[in-house]
Amino acid sequence: MGVTITMPQLGETVTEGTILEWVKQVGETVAEDEILVEISTDKVDTEVPSPSAGVLTEILVAAGETVAVGTAIAVLDSGEAAAADAPAESPAEATETGTAPPQAPPSAPDTARRSVLSPVVRKLAAEYGIDIAMVPGTGDGGRVTRKDIEAFAASSAATTAATPEPAPEPTPVPAAPPKPVAPPAAPVTSRAGDADVRDIPRLRRRIAENMRAARDTAAHVWTSVEVDFERVERVRAANRDRFKADEGFSLTYLPFIARATLDALSEYPDVNSQFDLEAGTWTYPRSVNLGIAVDLNQGGLVVANVRGADSLTLKGLARQIRSLADAARSGKAGPDDLAGFTFSITNPGPYGSFMSAPIIPVPNAAILSTETIVKKPVVVEAVDGTDAVAIHHVGYLGLSWDHRVFDGSTAVLFLNRIKENLQTWDWEQELS
């Protein structure tokens, strides 16, 4: 019986997918839930398992082609698979019945099949710094799968954790802080004079296409305000150790900024709206899905979606932001984790930025940028009305906004609402 396999909908907002690689080829037997094909959407690359056992009889969409969700991409013959997958008599059982065949030497893994690695496997191996040759493959012909990489990484981490630290040297020399590890460059495909020419990675190509389309669509304007973060910093410093012990990660400025921003979005809903000039529609979501830009160790950028962020507490925001960022960097974020946001925040501040003007992720109306927070002398007013100079933690917030959707007064009022929240709220109460 033939089973038609269609392009799956890998997320509620996904409408099409691109075939990256057929893991199985025509004529090969496929077990149920065995990885059949690698598919790329505009958000993530995904290994897709077979919905049933069978023999792959037809491939209808070749690698590299993009088709809509629901399009037939392959055909399985489940009748042949049923016979192929019937449980074989074990050697022990065969011996008991007197039908044991001569024993052949164990077969070695198929070297050709083992060398076939999906893009997801290659990406995970690079992120974990794993030598593929060291990983036992459980796939067809000894092929290394995503689960093999994750299991090997977990095993290596457990071994490392169980290994006692060596005794320190009598006079240890402080080591320099580790530098960020850049992702492996794409292989050189040709040379032009004194330059190497490389293929553009899929994620970088998607980013380039989306950024160009956004610039061609939205009327970009940029506005910024200076914010005194001293009140936030004092609460953050007072709760730093307890928060780290309770949550397992550091309390950064980002959840404070996110919480203050969500309040401002409720006051200025145009900033959280979606504008479609061609369709003549202006959509106002009933809640805020907050996008947080996540850098993939310099290998690209994705936006993680904190759904229903306006219903979360400060701690809840911190947990969700951390969880989604970890999932995105480890390649475990699903398509729905990276789509559907209504407003987003990009956070170049930890890298030392002064002011940034990010591109708006259309159809959103705006995006907020958080910059580096540093100590600066500021003028403060004493209780008696006199002025004094004090050292406070100060930074900038920048808003890229679409002038088709709202005007400068809304942009400035929105930013000033965030600023007022950060400078005046009882953050100790918010954190409790």
pLDDT in tens, 255-285: 999 999 999 999 999 999 999 999 999 999 9
256 within a domain of the structure (yes/no):
yes
Q: Which of 83, 101, 135 is the last residue of a domain?
A: 83
188 within a domain of the structure (yes/no):
no
272 within a domain of the structure (yes/no):
yes
Q: Indicate if 142 and 279 belong to the same structural domain.
A: no
pLDDT of residue 106: 56
Q: Indicate if 336 and 420 belong to the same structural domain.
A: yes
Active-site amino acid positions: 403, 407
422 within a domain of the structure (yes/no):
yes
The β-bridge partners of 379 are 389
More confident residue, 83 or 409: 409
CATH at 68: 2.40.50.100
Q: Which of 83, 98, 133 is the last residue of a domain?
A: 83
Q: Indicate if 231 and 339 belong to the same structural domain.
A: yes
Q: How many Cβ atoms sit within 10 Å of the Cβ of residue 348? A: 18
Q: Indicate if 143 and 233 belong to the same structural domain.
A: no
Q: Indicate if 224 and 359 belong to the same structural domain.
A: yes
Instruction: Tell me the pTM.
Output: 0.67
The predicted-structure confidence for 38-78, as pLDDT tens digits, reads as follows 888 776 778 888 888 889 999 999 988 888 888 999 998 88
Q: Indicate if 331 and 393 belong to the same structural domain.
A: yes
Q: Indicate if 379 and 272 belong to the same structural domain.
A: yes
pLDDT of residue 300: 85
Q: Indicate if 131 and 74 belong to the same structural domain.
A: no
Q: Indicate if 266 and 336 belong to the same structural domain.
A: yes
Task: Print the domain residue range for 60.
Answer: 1-83
92 within a domain of the structure (yes/no):
no
> Any long-range contacts for 277-284 (C-beta under 8 Å, 24+ apart)?
277/404, 282/405
Whole-angstrom distance, CA of residue 120 vs CA of residue 124: 6
Whole-angstrom distance, CA of residue 67 vs CA of residue 44: 16
The β-bridge partners of 226 are 396
Whole-angstrom distance, CA of residue 236 vs CA of residue 386: 28
CATH at 125: 4.10.320.10
Q: List C-alpha distances in Å: 272 to 217, 225, 280, 367, 419.
A: 17, 19, 17, 10, 18
184 within a domain of the structure (yes/no):
no
Q: Count the domains in the chain.
A: 3
Whole-angstrom distance, CA of residue 281 vs CA of residue 337: 25
Q: List C-alpha distances in Å: 99 to 22, 93, 96, 105, 264.
A: 39, 9, 8, 18, 78
